[in-house]
Amino acid sequence: MNGAEALLRSLVASGVDACFANPGTSEMHFVAALDRVPEMRAVPTLFEGVATGAADGFARVAGRPAATLLHLGPGFANGMANLHNARRAQVPLVNVVGDHATFHQRFDARLQSDLWGMAATTSAWQRSSTRAEDVGADGADAVAASYGPPGGIATLIVPADVSWDEGGRPAPPRPRAPLPLVPADTVEHVAKILRSGEPATLLIGGAAMGERGLRAAERVARATGAKLLCETFPTIHARGGGLPGPEKMAYYGEMGTAQLEGSRVLVLAGARSPVAFFAYPGKPGDLVPPGCPVEPLAGPGVDVVAALEQLAEAVGAGEAPGSPGGPGGGGGGGGGRERPDRPSGALTTETMAAAVGHLLPEGAIVVDESITSGLSVPAATAHGPRHDWLALAGGSIGQGLPVATGAAVAAPDRRVLCLEADGSAMYTVQSLWTQAREGLDVTTIVLANRSYAILQFELARVGASGDGARAASMLDLHRPALDFVDIAAGLGVPASRAHSADELADLLERCLATDGPSLIEAVLAP
Amino acid sequence: MNGAEALLRSLVASGVDACFANPGTSEMHFVAALDRVPEMRAVPTLFEGVATGAADGFARVAGRPAATLLHLGPGFANGMANLHNARRAQVPLVNVVGDHATFHQRFDARLQSDLWGMAATTSAWQRSSTRAEDVGADGADAVAASYGPPGGIATLIVPADVSWDEGGRPAPPRPRAPLPLVPADTVEHVAKILRSGEPATLLIGGAAMGERGLRAAERVARATGAKLLCETFPTIHARGGGLPGPEKMAYYGEMGTAQLEGSRVLVLAGARSPVAFFAYPGKPGDLVPPGCPVEPLAGPGVDVVAALEQLAEAVGAGEAPGSPGGPGGGGGGGGGRERPDRPSGALTTETMAAAVGHLLPEGAIVVDESITSGLSVPAATAHGPRHDWLALAGGSIGQGLPVATGAAVAAPDRRVLCLEADGSAMYTVQSLWTQAREGLDVTTIVLANRSYAILQFELARVGASGDGARAASMLDLHRPALDFVDIAAGLGVPASRAHSADELADLLERCLATDGPSLIEAVLAP
């Protein structure tokens, strides 16, 4: 058995059975070995940013890592922006990166680059395999490292000769330690603070935004009077179906500051202390009010859900109400307690949101890279059926379509709805081809405002005197307008265009009832 | 004046007047300043790999650097693969990368990453500006560093507050030292070797592949009997119009070895000692025959053209013949001495090449990312009108469309013809939108074989037993087939499809006579 096959068998044995792949010459033995290891599902992509983003989406939904297969330094580089996002999402992910054969590296051939240095900028763990005998064990170690602690992105560099040499040995999975529990006295310390009656905010994030975490946090807030907030860009956020729907920290710093105003203590559970996304002249970067202490209950790498449940007991909270539509079904940013009516009339960000809220199917996975155009969707879906919400965790645009692709591979029995801004869609639009090839049930709504609208806001917010024509023209996308119906068709995905709310609702209803991928370009009224 | 404006004015003063831009919030003051510095042409792109590749293409044709404008670490990462290519092309290039404000970096906000580490993997020079007062001088230093020696990619990191703070001071251009000359005794040493009558090969590359270098190398070869070869992937290669057309080193190592067989000495002028592009089991990586010494005349960072002219004198070479169609008009890989006839019949790689050879206009810039499908084009164009040929210098696919875009910005009075493989086209297809927006005279022929054909070869060549269906399916692109007519239309570029040689010739003739960009999908017979 050669090294490549041993690596594949080791990955599968460790529970990694999906691989998003952009192979090149140095990965051909890995590709060839796929025929001997049918347990591994290999999903080809047309660009590495699709592969890494898809692995992120897969991990968010499946709760376990997928592999990528990347070609040398430049292939890794093409996947790095979405690895940045995956790093911020704190998901496990295993990169397999082919390299020149060990004996070839001294020649500094054209495609050679500082792959090790590139990997170091974004990996929590990295190793370069040196022998076919070891690469199976290296693969098992990589999977274990992706789980952690601390976990994250594990990058295994595999020189071509390590793949093709005989002597490969598949390795068994490494034992996985359970997540460490938060010490009891930390829980008691926080409980005491919350019981004191001081105005407090409980800010949750990470794994606390799943069902159990939300219910426990809601019990704590209800018992202590603490204000419950959740982080702005969750990895995976359980919503709808009567789950508690805490208010989100706002994207803009001054709104975040206002949300925390009056708090005398801020308790963190799976979330980091809130800071501004960007700096602005004369505005604070740290959003915590002066004189408000920050008390961490649980950071990354510990069992935040168990900590919240322990905290709920420690503050004497009763059971959560939790019945759908009952008092547990919180706001999520405003709006009524019913699903919105089917919208009609002009296609605006509000009627678009209503169409989504009206039609969102049970068990849907919503991937949100809507940037400015999607602000009304959270409220419109808060009282809908149970669904999961995947946000732009690292802030680097071009994540939405790939994450939706990987999520659909992880959950073939669920519908994926991707809300995608037009400017962001163009970063990794190649994703659509993989959706078509794999027949994935992903419906993408491209929100076509034909500009980098957020930058038009930001230009003013940073105090730049950008009222000149040349600056403005750098931020618009209408000369020429992108035609996403044509682009999607060219990539094999059936597409259509909505100019009104009625059209959008009709098209969305049809797409959600049809197998395979689809795309709707929603042309938003200016 | 704020820092951003000072930086823009300094870049312009140093001769950098084109900027390929993907700005974000941290670059908004730079964008706003564009209205006050109209000498800078800002060209927006939809993806950073387009921006960096376009800056490469611009530099190859203009002989001076363009700037990029990139957003934080992830934006830089998206441009890295084409920076790898630009590094291998040895072009000057200036990256301006926005960063979080100096006082914001401590918060490790979502978009923060190891930008400095990323830049270090690919930059010859890098600096992070710290004050508005200095950023103008930093910009002038960056331009100077891009020229070198050693030259290459200069990356200037500009925190947002350095851009927005007042106190900016534009800096004058730095003095530029001429390229160092090769020492006279080196020239004499090589001349003596070549005059000895031992079978010799002169391998040229880099700047030696311009008009003067080619003529001087041809004189040396003619006077000494040395075999003249040129590198496989030139940055910019002057061809046609009766210029000498030396044989190219083959891509495949065993063919390269055969080309060097019998040589008793190998002289390098602007080229590196030839090595295999990839390693293969049991095949040599170093292509130089055993016992054949390698004698460098001129490496990077010295005046290789002057060195060849001095060498020609030292070996007593006469003047080059050089008249169009005369004996100077060498082969370039075979074929007759006339332009090919207009082709007819089936659309194959040969008839495609004939159509290009028949119609190539005077002064054209050919950008070659045709991979396997374009092998016949060099011979078919060798005896055509004078043109320049830009190759995939770093081997990382996704360079063709961006390089064509930048070349067209650099040379608005010339036609750009981009020969683009279908798999490679999908890496940076967003380039087409920029071509449409700027009205660039670029005609792209997408060579649609609907596979990663080179990997089908490579799978066998590396000895991988890849005859299984799953491995094969990873390398094909026909399920679904990419429709480049739709994709181009979606990006604003008029497109058409050719199924026969006659259709291709008709369409190409029409496209080359029409202003603005166009695309032809050439569906190659299997």
- pLDDT of A453 reads 81
- Specify whether B513 is located in the same domain as B374: yes
Residue A363 domain flag = yes
Cβ under 8 Å to B: A residues 426-455: 426-427, 429-430, 433, 436-437, 454-455
- Specify whether B359 is located in the same domain as B421: yes
**Is A455 or B336 the better-scoring residue by pLDDT?**
A455
Q: Domain boundary residue among A265, A294, A314?
A: A314
- pLDDT of A462 reads 79
- Mean per-residue pLDDT, A106-114: 96
Q: Which of B104, B393, B455 sits opposite A279 (nearest CB)?
A: B104
- Specify whether B159 is located in the same domain as B193: no
Q: How distant is the Cα of B439 from the closest Cα of chain A, in angstroms?
A: 10
Q: How far apart are CA A56 and CA A76, in angstroms?
A: 15
Best residue of B257, B422, B470 to probe chain A, by most A CBs closer than 10 Å: B470
**pLDDT-derived band of residue A327, with 50, 70 and 90 as boundaries?**
very low
Q: How far apart are CA A87 and CA A286, in angstroms?
A: 22
Q: How far apart are CA B114 and CA A120, in angstroms?
A: 9
- pLDDT of B330 reads 42
**Contact pairs from chain A to chain B, CB under 8 Å:** 317
Q: Which of B23, B100, B492 sits opposite A279 (nearest CB)?
A: B100
Q: How distant is the Cα of A123 from the closest Cα of chain B, in angstroms?
A: 11
Instruction: Inform me whether the pLDDT recorded for A482 exceeds 60.
Output: yes
- Mean per-residue pLDDT, A330-345: 72
Q: How distant is the Cα of A28 from the closest Cα of chain B, in angstroms?
A: 5
- pLDDT of B454 reads 80
Q: Domain boundary residue among A134, A164, A194?
A: A164
- Specify whether B284 is located in the same domain as B372: no
Low-confidence ranges of chain B (pLDDT < 50): 323-335
Q: What is the dihedral of CA A296, A300, A302, A306, to 10 degrees?
A: 70
Q: How distant is the Cα of B306 from the closest Cα of chain A, in angstroms?
A: 26
Radius of gyration of chain B (CA): 24
Write the pLDDT tens digit of every residue in A193-235. Answer: 999 989 999 999 999 999 999 999 999 999 999 999 999 999 9
Contact B366, B355 (CB under 8 A): no
In sequence order, what are the beta bridge partners of B237? B389
Q: How far apart are CA A371 and CA A381, in angstroms?
A: 17
Q: How distant is the Cα of A214 from the closest Cα of chain B, in angstroms?
A: 23
Q: How distant is the Cα of A73 from the closest Cα of chain B, in angstroms?
A: 8
Q: Does A526 touch chain B (CB under 8 A)?
A: no
What kind and span of H or E run contains A82? helix A72-89
Residue B320 domain flag = no
Q: Domain boundary residue among A132, A164, A196?
A: A164
Q: Does A1 touch chain B (CB under 8 A)?
A: no
Residue A103 with chain B: CB contacts under 8 Å = 279, 285
Range(s) of the domain holding residue A236: 184-314
**pLDDT-derived band of residue A320, with 50, 70 and 90 as boundaries?**
low
- pLDDT of B478 reads 83
Contact B299, B346 (CB under 8 A): no
Residue A486 domain flag = yes
- Spatial neighbors of A183 by CB under 8 A, at least 6 apart, are none
Q: How distant is the Cα of A336 from the closest Cα of chain B, in angstroms?
A: 32
Highest mean pLDDT among A300-304, A327-331, A504-508, B454-458: A504-508
Q: Where are the beta strands (DSSP E) in B205-293?
A: 227-230, 237-239, 247-248, 265-269
Residue B26 domain flag = yes
Cβ under 8 Å to A: B residues 147-166: 160-161, 164
Residue B324 domain flag = no
Identity of the residue numbered A526: P
Q: Which of B275, B436, B480 sits opposite A480 (nearest CB)?
A: B436
- Mean per-residue pLDDT, A335-360: 92
* Residue A209: CATH number of its domain: 3.40.50.1220
- pLDDT of B261 reads 94
- Specify whether A446 is located in the same domain as A481: yes
Q: How far apart are CA B284 and CA A103, in angstroms?
A: 10
Instruction: Inform me whether the pLDDT recorded for A396 exceeds 50.
Output: yes
Identify the closest residue of chain A to B105 by CA–CA distance.
Answer: A279
Cβ under 8 Å to B: A residues 314-373: none
Identity of the residue numbered A31: V
- Interface touch B396/A38, C-beta < 8 Å: no
Write the pLDDT tens digit of every residue in B166-191. Answer: 999 999 999 998 999 999 999 999 99
- Interface touch A28/B466, C-beta < 8 Å: yes
- Specify whether A249 is located in the same domain as A134: no
In sequence order, what are the beta bridge partners of A520? A445, A496
- Specify whether A151 is located in the same domain as A207: no
Q: How far apart are CA B433 and CA B122, in angstroms?
A: 27
What kind and span of H or E run contains A295? strand A294-298
* Percent of chain A at pLDDT exceeding 70: 96
Considering Cα of B358, then B359, then B363, then B368, what sign does the dihedral take? negative
Q: Where are the beta strands (DSSP E) in B153-259?
A: 153-159, 200-204, 227-230, 237-239, 247-248
- pLDDT of B141 reads 98
- Specify whether A278 is located in the same domain as A414: no
Q: How far apart are CA A445 and CA A196, in angstroms?
A: 47
- Interface touch B465/A32, C-beta < 8 Å: yes
Contact A157, A129 (CB under 8 A): yes
- Specify whether A389 is located in the same domain as A500: yes
Residue A339 domain flag = no
User: A358 to each of A169, A342, A377, A390, A523, how far by Cα in Å?
Assistant: 53, 6, 11, 19, 19
Q: Which of A28, A100, A471 sits opposite B459 (nearest CB)?
A: A28
- Give percent helix, percent strand, percent coil of chain B, each to the nearest 5: 40, 20, 40
Residue B110 with chain A: CB contacts under 8 Å = 88, 233, 277, 393-395
Q: How distant is the Cα of B156 from the closest Cα of chain A, in angstroms?
A: 18
Write the pLDDT tens digit of every residue in A255-314. Answer: 999 999 999 999 999 999 999 999 988 888 999 999 999 999 999 889 999 999 999 999
Biggest alpha carbon–alpha carbon distance for chain B: 69
- Interface touch B164/A463, C-beta < 8 Å: yes
- Specify whether A309 is located in the same domain as A442: no
- Mean per-residue pLDDT, A157-168: 97
Contact B233, B262 (CB under 8 A): no
Mean pLDDT in chain A? 94
Its pTM stands at 0.96
Contact B398, B427 (CB under 8 A): yes
Q: Is B468 exposed, middle or buried (0-12, 13-18, 19+ CB in 10 A)?
A: middle
Residue B279 domain flag = yes
ipTM: 0.95
Residue B69 domain flag = yes
- pLDDT of A329 reads 40
Q: How distant is the Cα of B312 from the closest Cα of chain A, in angstroms?
A: 30
* Residue A458: CATH number of its domain: 3.40.50.970
Q: Does A281 touch chain B (CB under 8 A)?
A: yes
- Specify whether A8 is located in the same domain as A140: yes
- Interface touch A465/B32, C-beta < 8 Å: yes
Cβ under 8 Å to A: B residues 489-508: 489-492
**pLDDT-derived band of residue A9, with 50, 70 and 90 as boundaries?**
very high
> How many domains does one find in chain A?
3
- Mean per-residue pLDDT, A158-174: 97
Write the pLDDT tens digit of every residue in A116-127. Answer: 999 999 999 999
Q: Does B47 touch chain A (CB under 8 A)?
A: yes
Q: How far apart are CA B313 and CA B184, in angstroms?
A: 12
Q: Which of B81, B423, B471 sits opposite A77 (nearest CB)?
A: B81
Instruction: Inform me whether the pLDDT recorded for A331 exceeds 60.
Output: no
Identify the closest residue of chain B to A26 by CA–CA distance.
Answer: B278
- Specify whether A188 is located in the same domain as A160: no
Best residue of A41, A113, A157 to probe chain B, by most B CBs closer than 10 Å: A113
Instruction: Inform me whether the pLDDT recorded for A404 exceeds 70.
Output: yes
- Interface touch B111/A49, C-beta < 8 Å: no
Render the burial of A510-524: b for 16+ CB within 10 Å, e for the rest: ebbeeebbbbbbbbb
